[in-house]
Structure 1
Amino acid sequence: MELYDQVLEAIQAIQTRTSLKPEVGVILGSGLGDLATEIAEPAIVPYADIPHFARSTVKGHAGRLIIGLLENVPVVAMQGRFHLYEGYHLQVLTLPVRVMRQLGAHTLIVTNAAGGVNPAYRPGDFMLIRDHINMPGLAGANPLLGPNDERFGGRFPPLAHAYDAQLRALAHSIAASSPEIMLHEGIYTMVGGPNYETGAELRFLRAVGTDAVGMSTVPEVIVARHAGMQVLGLSLITNTATGNETGEVNHAEVLAAADAVRPRFAALVRGIVREIPRLIATS
């Protein structure tokens, strides 16, 4: 079955649960899924009930699609994402982004938990993604490999400005009104995982300009831009990852760091979502 037909089948299953047309898509990273509980009038669809959706296998990823209202804005949220290290093909991993776009979402907010390669970053800080380095992509792993379907987008999508400048400015303005939110802006590098990086790898990533490192996000951004969506990327810094640490990072630490900043994360994302319709109307 062609990918486009898979997307249509997934949409048909979702639309049996709700007729709401989302405007904003949100992908909630490791430990950040609780924001989905703040969505009003939710239609909750387990991934297992959606044809062609993969299954979340990682702790901190609930595996549900939620459609409803956040700050009175129609949204569709992934409460848990899929990762390359789970063994999924990149087209499978990114199919939910295709579905979000075809459901009506024109903007994607993609979030993740990341290690702070920049020595100025501290656990609990946030980083807006200004640009990315795609390590798996540099080795040939790309969700757009294969024949291009023009119904999704053009063959060669530009990514020089993948992360929308207006959305980043909006996020900065929201954060400025909340002194407890430390918001940086920098370069996110995706690695394949599931192992955490060696000290030598982290020092290399820092040398090439990385500010934060993680195991997700970039394939979803590529597909979103291929589909013409505006993208905002937001990383929660859960641990330092400069290459000089004496201890070992672990997933429990990542989830604990995410839990500690849950109110700040929710306030930031809710504020951004609230202002997106105004931003779209004036742009």
Structure 2
Amino acid sequence: MKLLLLLLLLPLLLALMPIIIHASTLNIYYNGTVEAEINSNDRQFFLIGYNITDLKVIGARYNITGNTLYLNPINSTVYIYYKSELSKGVIQVNEPYNLTINLYLPLNSSINYISTQPYSFSTVNGLYNITFVNVSKVTLLYASSHVILAQNEFGLPAIIGGLVGSDAVLATLILLLWKRRRKEEVEIMKDEEGVDLVTDKLDERDAIVLEAIKMGTNTLADIVRQTGLPKSTAYRRVKKLVKLGYIEEIREEGKVRYIIKSDNK
């Protein structure tokens, strides 16, 4: 009888057990400083940038082959610190496992994301902190203050300023990425269930997202938490609502928020 009761309660007990979240964290600063806190189960770490100096590894013995750090942990957590050179205006991460990634950029940066939707923006000690959660790959382009991205009447980014050398290369990359993004935007958007998102009719998920924004939920992360929708689905629905004119997308100091348009209140 007791065994039967235990078997019946086992699914409930498993559901109540805490979910283990990957503990590894990677901090990358625009000046090439890299800090990592790695779970001892992770035995490899791909070094970011080139010309690595001042490497310190605490909590593990290690060896390096190419840009890969092979770890033999002696503690439950391994700490890695070093300085590197980063390609100007470009930060790329490609690790062999998921982790939380924090990128730190100057406040005067113009930012253009290539891949992976950031989880949050914040300002820390005079720097932008862009956070990506539970990801292994991030690619980000940014430009310093003398490279200004503007929009002309056709929506085409105009890159203003005296661009020479590497700045000109960066400007070209940003322009190519913008064109790629515009091409993606004109394609028919469909969610993971194949539902056409360019129709002007709102379905149940659209209504859920719209109602959450009406209640004051104004960031993508908060919309995901409020609605329980997958992040990719919430993002596409938000973009659909923007396209159809139900909501506005507002960018302020590196942060993106969404509000109901005044004529829809």
TM-score normalised by structure 1 residue count = 0.27
Greater strand share, structure number = 2
Greater helix share, structure number = 1
| Higher gyration radius (CA) | 2
